Structure 1
Amino acid sequence: MAAFVEIQGFFQIRRQHLPLAGGARLRQVAVRASNSAAAVAPAPVVVSDGAASERTVVRLGLPSKGRMAEETLNLLKNCQLTVRQVNPRQYVADIPQLSNLEVWFQRPKDIVRKLHAGDLDLGIVGLDTFSEYGQENEDLIIVHNELKYGDCRLSIAIPMYGIFENINSLQDLAQMPHWTEERPLRVATGFTCLGPRFMKEKGMKHVSFSTADGALEAAPAMGISDAILDLVSSGTTLRENNLKEIDGGVVLESQAVLVASKKSLIQRSGVLDITHEILERLEAHLRAAVQFTVTANMRGSNAEQVAEKIHSQPSLAGLQGPTISPVYCKRDGKVSIDYYAIIICVPQKALYKSVQQLRSIGGSGVLVSPLTYIFEEETPRWRNLLSELGL
């Protein structure tokens, strides 16, 4: 049976923080006597928080387990930032392309906590984890908010049966006469900060929250809670446990984000430069992932005429416009220009439509190629980061 801890009162939730690794630590130092084989009793040596500021290597925290960890490593690999881990059991690795960087594999919530403590400088976590454990901390900042994986939503779910059978929205749930001060709506969740805040914003007064270790989906069936607040991806697990989401019950839409400590970005040597390179690589790859290069030949008397034809079609504008170059054909022993080669970038979702439009204006020999990177003159998120840091 999952162990539940009741959190009493809507406005009296107490968050329990684990000891932070950046706090004072105690080392045991054994001192051997010079004239004896016996060791003197270990003497405690206190290492203050100042040790964190003396660290020169930059540290990046990555999820240690599960699908999030796998997809994070894949993204970095696609950005030519392959994480090198000699032993899969080790928690420390590196990225050869980024000198003076250590990669630390940690639980997502510990990444946020260690960013705050100064033990990490950068991290990749889900927005849900960042919002629950670090969003109220002014030192923590989101550097990139759309890494395009880890999609899920933090959502309220209730049973499909019993008194909830005809309840389909948060408003319906709030208007049920069952909830009183003596008998509040009981919600099981691991998000004891986001959950109560959401309910308060929605005006729901008679609610109590409990935390649980294990599968939350079992809580309503066991009679331990009336509802759950949990992360949902496809919703299959909910349905298999006779639970349903309700309209207006989504607390947060989440995906993977790159986060950092402001203090580290400003004060620690090398952190800003490494952040810049990681951000540029991420932006270039993610932008290219949804684009294709389309190349085709078109008849025309000159490049300007071909350009006018292309600009007449809304799906063929490209990033700034088409690249047009002459195709030199040889006929009867003479070189002539009858065709022009055009190159454009096309959004993945509009690919077929763009090819159709290209054909309609005389395009032929159409070639389509995936893109690896699209580097802009300057990354917009980099400008935003510098602005937020006051640099």
Structure 2
Amino acid sequence: MSANGRDAALRLVIPSDGELYEPTLNYLGSCGLSVRRPNSRQYTATIRSLPGVEVLFQRSADVTTKVEEGSAELGITGLDRYLEYRTDERTVVSLLDDLGYGRCDFVLAVPDAWLDVSSIDDLADLALEFKQQGKQLRIATKYPKLLREYLFHRGINYFTLVAVSGALEAAPVAGYADLIADLTATGTTLRENRLKTLQGGTILTSQSCLIGNATTLLRSKDALRLAREFIEMLEAHMRAEPYYRLTANVRGASPQEVSATVLSRPEVSGLRGPTIARVYNVEEQDWYAVSLLVRKDRLMEAVDHLRDCGGIEVSASQLSYLFKGESSVFSRLLDPASESVEEIGGL
């Protein structure tokens, strides 16, 4: 049963802890999908704007597993945790691999005292030296799968991974690892612990992502319907973020004359060009309302252009949603011959 006493047609699992908890709630709220959680001790919640969706709160490390095992059809987690914890690439897929928050890098960091080691190539040479001395590099990490794949791809085959549950930065000083592979957003904590990142040593750039269990979703029409609505809300919100709608009243002899004036500068004349509509006024009959969609980085340039066109009463409003003809993400989810996982994430 869902938190509102009815059977849930779609279950969404999100982090209950860590750095993604509050940002995920804020992000969903900004998309018009506010999560209603009765109290902080309750591990289920609802989304009022999407009846039939139940939100489950789980540890960040467990989100991928819950989606993969079918306890939830959709989940939000870090790309790093998704790639590390998935075991079946055909079952759990990344639907949107960048939701725009929770950015961090998974990097290799060595002690500042290692003056001769500044790049991944230097580390490869050092690993070989250790091997010749009958030793192996010890690397502390919480993401052994991602790290192992990265090192093998770089031709570094001689190393030992040290599993650590707490802070990794102390591992070299404490002596139970030679270097670390850890997540960092700014690098400040690494620097404060006298560690430096290696050139070419960024294993993964991670951020929050939406994942889904294609198998369980395809079993229910109600789940698919809700999944489409949920996915399209996220897509449309992300797509709209860079755009503003500008409107102005412009005087002209005809719609064609006004549009020609606005189109004289195509780079600030709208996403698909201007929309022109007659302004009905008892006293003056030669005014037209002009509406444009422009990128926020060209907002003032577009405002000045409308002024140059004779525009007055220019107003600007940020878009909340920008929908396309159909959702490419949802279309690929429905296609059993979909090429692969990460390709689904493109907008």
Select the residue among 227, 250, 253 that pairs with 1:298: 250
Q: Conserved in 2, the CA contact under 8 Å of 1:60 and 1:101?
A: yes
SS at match of 1:148: coil
1:273 matches 2:221: no
In the alignment, the residues of structure 2 paired with residue 274 and residue 204 of structure 1 have an alpha-carbon distance, to the nearest angstrom, of: 46
In the alignment, the residues of structure 2 paired with residue 146 and residue 60 of structure 1 have an alpha-carbon distance, to the nearest angstrom, of: 17
* Offset, 1:274: 1.2
AA aligned opposite 2:258: V
Show the counterpart of 1:173. 123
Show the counterpart of 1:336. 285
Matches within 5 A, 1:193-212: 193-212=145-164
Select the residue among 310, 313, 316 that pairs with 1:368: 316
* Offset, 1:365: 3.4
Q: Conserved in 2, the CA contact under 8 Å of 1:152 and 1:233?
A: yes
Question: Are residues 389 and 92 of structure 1, via their aligned partners in 2, closer, same or farther at CA, if it must alter by over 3 Å?
Answer: farther
* Offset, 1:98: 2.5
Deviates more, 1:320-329 or 1:219-228: 320-329
Show the counterpart of 1:90. 42
Question: Are residues 57 and 303 of structure 1, via their aligned partners in 2, closer, same or farther at CA, if it must alter by over 3 Å?
Answer: closer
Question: Are residues 268 and 56 of structure 1, via their aligned partners in 2, closer, same or farther at CA, if it must alter by over 3 Å?
Answer: farther
In the alignment, the residues of structure 1 paired with residue 336 and residue 192 of structure 2 have an alpha-carbon distance, to the nearest angstrom, of: 45
Show the counterpart of 2:328. 380
Show the counterpart of 1:326. 278
Show the counterpart of 1:347. 295
SS at match of 1:253: strand
Between Structure 1 and Structure 2, how many residues are aligned? 330
Select the residue among 255, 259, 264 that pairs with 1:307: 259
Question: Are residues 57 and 379 of structure 1, via their aligned partners in 2, closer, same or farther at CA, if it must alter by over 3 Å?
Answer: closer
Question: Are residues 132 and 97 of structure 1, via their aligned partners in 2, closer, same or farther at CA, if it must alter by over 3 Å?
Answer: same
Question: Are residues 63 and 362 of structure 1, via their aligned partners in 2, closer, same or farther at CA, if it must alter by over 3 Å?
Answer: same
In the alignment, the residues of structure 2 paired with residue 76 and residue 352 of structure 1 have an alpha-carbon distance, to the nearest angstrom, of: 30
* Offset, 1:361: 4.3
* Offset, 1:317: 3.7
Unaligned runs of 5+ in 1: 1-54
Select the residue among 12, 21, 29 that pairs with 1:60: 12
SS at match of 1:283: helix
Larger Rg: 1
In the alignment, the residues of structure 2 paired with residue 103 and residue 340 of structure 1 have an alpha-carbon distance, to the nearest angstrom, of: 47
Q: Conserved in 2, the CA contact under 8 Å of 1:152 and 1:255?
A: yes
Show the counterpart of 1:225. 177
SS at match of 2:197: strand
Q: Conserved in 1, the CA contact under 8 Å of 2:12 and 2:55?
A: yes
Question: Are residues 217 and 314 of structure 1, via their aligned partners in 2, closer, same or farther at CA, if it must alter by over 3 Å?
Answer: farther
Unaligned runs of 5+ in 2: 1-6, 339-347
Q: Conserved in 2, the CA contact under 8 Å of 1:62 and 1:125?
A: yes
* Offset, 1:66: 2.9
In the alignment, the residues of structure 1 paired with residue 336 and residue 264 of structure 2 have an alpha-carbon distance, to the nearest angstrom, of: 40
Show the counterpart of 2:168. 216
Show the counterpart of 2:341. none
Q: Conserved in 2, the CA contact under 8 Å of 1:62 and 1:108?
A: yes
In the alignment, the residues of structure 1 paired with residue 149 and residue 82 of structure 2 have an alpha-carbon distance, to the nearest angstrom, of: 15
Deviation track 1:205-259 (CA, whole Å, cap 9, x = no partner) reads 2222111011101111222212111111111111111112122111111111111
In the alignment, the residues of structure 2 paired with residue 303 and residue 203 of structure 1 have an alpha-carbon distance, to the nearest angstrom, of: 65
Deviates more, 1:302-311 or 1:272-281: 302-311
Question: Are residues 169 and 388 of structure 1, via their aligned partners in 2, closer, same or farther at CA, if it must alter by over 3 Å?
Answer: farther
Instruction: Give the structure-2-normalised TM-score.
Output: 0.88
In the alignment, the residues of structure 1 paired with residue 84 and residue 238 of structure 2 have an alpha-carbon distance, to the nearest angstrom, of: 26
Show the counterpart of 1:45. none
Question: Are residues 388 and 243 of structure 1, via their aligned partners in 2, closer, same or farther at CA, if it must alter by over 3 Å?
Answer: farther
* Offset, 1:169: 1.6
In the alignment, the residues of structure 2 paired with residue 246 and residue 64 of structure 1 have an alpha-carbon distance, to the nearest angstrom, of: 33
**After TM superposition, what 4+ stretches of structure 1 lie above 6 angstroms from structure 2?**
none
Show the counterpart of 1:108. 60
Deviation track 1:106-137 (CA, whole Å, cap 9, x = no partner) reads 01221111222222211111111100011643
Matches within 5 A, 1:5-16: none
* Offset, 1:354: 2.8
SS at match of 2:205: strand
CA RMSD of aligned residues (A): 2.1
Matches within 5 A, 1:124-143: 124-134=76-86, 136-143=88-95
Q: Conserved in 2, the CA contact under 8 Å of 1:59 and 1:103?
A: yes
Select the residue among 243, 265, 271 that pairs with 2:195: 243
In the alignment, the residues of structure 2 paired with residue 87 and residue 307 of structure 1 have an alpha-carbon distance, to the nearest angstrom, of: 54
1:260 matches 2:212: yes
In the alignment, the residues of structure 1 paired with residue 60 and residue 214 of structure 2 have an alpha-carbon distance, to the nearest angstrom, of: 19
Deviates more, 1:202-211 or 1:132-141: 132-141
Question: Are residues 335 and 126 of structure 1, via their aligned partners in 2, closer, same or farther at CA, if it must alter by over 3 Å?
Answer: same
How many percent of aligned residue pairs carry the same amino acid?
Answer: 37
SS at match of 2:335: helix
Deviates more, 1:101-110 or 1:275-284: 101-110
Instruction: Give the structure-1-normalised TM-score.
Output: 0.78
SS at match of 1:196: helix
